Structure 1
Amino acid sequence: MSNDNTILGAIEPELVDSIAFSRRDVFTRYAKAAGIMTSAPLVLALASNQAFGQSLPQQVTDTLNFALTLEYLEAAFYEQGNKSGVIPSQYRSVFRTIGQHENAHVKLLKGVLGSAAVAAPGVDFTAGGKYADVWENFDTFLALSQTFEDLGVAAYKGQAGNLIGSKEILTVALQIHSVEARHASEVRRIGLKFGWDGAFDKPLSKKAALAAATPFLA
């Protein structure tokens, strides 16, 4: 490896190689712990923020915390849903997997944000009683699942512009976005609907996305 123009360049080459190997190992374990599969450079860039305390631009921090809030909401929804007994047996593995994905998204975003990560909000998936049978009626559960997945897809799309200056983080955000889109399509398929609404998806602003999510936040 080249040591030119790096802080490590002043250290003995053997020690440099040892440190580099240790850091790669830490980042690999970090990615596995978050339940993600991504390229080494992306893991390096993202885990460095968490492991070495590098500060993120405020706009990036705000955007990631917004995404984290929505991921908290989705993760909590599937955690409760998978415990409730509302999901028919033939779909339980699907929703368990979706729940695992949402938990992985939460872990990754919290890891990148470090101490700047917002806390998980309180949730009320009945929306004050409007969906009182969400844990008893699979149709209601499915409707809310589609709502949250569609919301996540549109919200990530709406915030992409705020991450343009942080290429590595934008790339991982887009990786999450595409998985959310697959969730949305699968949920629609289970509900006997097409997996799309048209040739193009519309983004949602942060204000609009939070307005849609607010009824479910306690």
Structure 2
Amino acid sequence: MSTPTTTPDATERPDSRRGFLRLAGVGAAGSAALFLTACGDDDDSSSGAAAGTTASTTEKSSGGSAEGDLKILNYALTLEFLEADFYKKAIDADLFKGAELDLVKKFGESEQAHVDVLTDTIKKLGGTPVTAPETTFPLEDRKSVLELAATVENLGAAAYLGKAGEIMNPDILAAALSIHSVEARHAGALNHLLGKKPTPDGAFAKPADEATVLEAVKPFIVS
């Protein structure tokens, strides 16, 4: 007899906001541990001792402090702000119709969902989300915008891969990889639409370090 399978509740999946927060350890007991590690409590000595104990426990379980993970989350948030704003402006440019417009809208919705969940996660961990940068993009014609979208998505996927080894908390790593997977699928779809290889790097994707990524997106940020 085959074992019946159950479909997980949508709110528990990593592609929903609650699912991401659950994976990031901010939906149950883990939230208190990570939150206290990040921001502490100076109201009294007993609270301080509790925070110190929690911090120690969290560092042992995650392999490091939450501070570094918060920095990585804010780095990711900066990139997601850029991607979400790019798609909004691409839609407003009125360069797409039919199925292509639907695709661009869907990708934009995904990037905005990434912005929302990263912002929520950083706040839940006691951090301060970075401010959305003012952006500018060359939006001249359909093909050039699709090529730029592919460039941005491939870069985003490479950026997440580049930071994966630095994330200390395994739950945050799992959540970040759930976003990385979507970025990679966006990139593959756009590559295919442009007649390019869906996986340009072959069987193994190449990571990009933070300095390289920030240099690449610099032309799109208004100084």
Distance (Å, rounded) in 2 between the aligned partners of 1:59 and 1:41: 20
Structure 1 match to 2:26:
46
Q: Is the 8 A contact 1:122 1:217 kept in 2?
A: yes
Unaligned 5+ segments in structure 2 are 1-10, 39-65
> Is 1:145 aligned to residue 149 of structure 2?
yes
> Is 1:118 aligned to residue 121 of structure 2?
no
> Is 1:204 aligned to residue 208 of structure 2?
yes
Distance (Å, rounded) in 1 between the aligned partners of 2:23 and 2:85: 27
Structure 1 match to 2:184:
181
Structure 2 match to 1:58:
67
Distance (Å, rounded) in 2 between the aligned partners of 1:54 and 1:92: 44
| 1:196 Cα offset (Å) | 0.9
> Secondary structure, in 3 states, of the residue corresponding to 2:19?
coil
> Could you tell me the TM-score, scaled by structure 2's length?
0.73
Call closer, same or farther: CA 1:54–1:186 in 2, change over 3 Å: farther
Unaligned 5+ segments in structure 1 are 1-27, 127-133
Distance (Å, rounded) in 1 between the aligned partners of 2:185 and 2:94: 24
Q: Is the 8 A contact 1:46 1:169 kept in 2?
A: no
Deviation per residue, 1:17-67 (Å, 9 max, x gap): xxxxxxxxxxx59x99x9447378426x134659x9444422111111110
Distance (Å, rounded) in 1 between the aligned partners of 2:180 and 2:198: 15
| 1:143 Cα offset (Å) | 1.0
Call closer, same or farther: CA 1:39–1:103 in 2, change over 3 Å: closer
Distance (Å, rounded) in 2 between the aligned partners of 1:188 and 1:172: 25
Equivalent residue letter for 1:209: V
Among the aligned pairs, what percent are the same residue?
A: 34
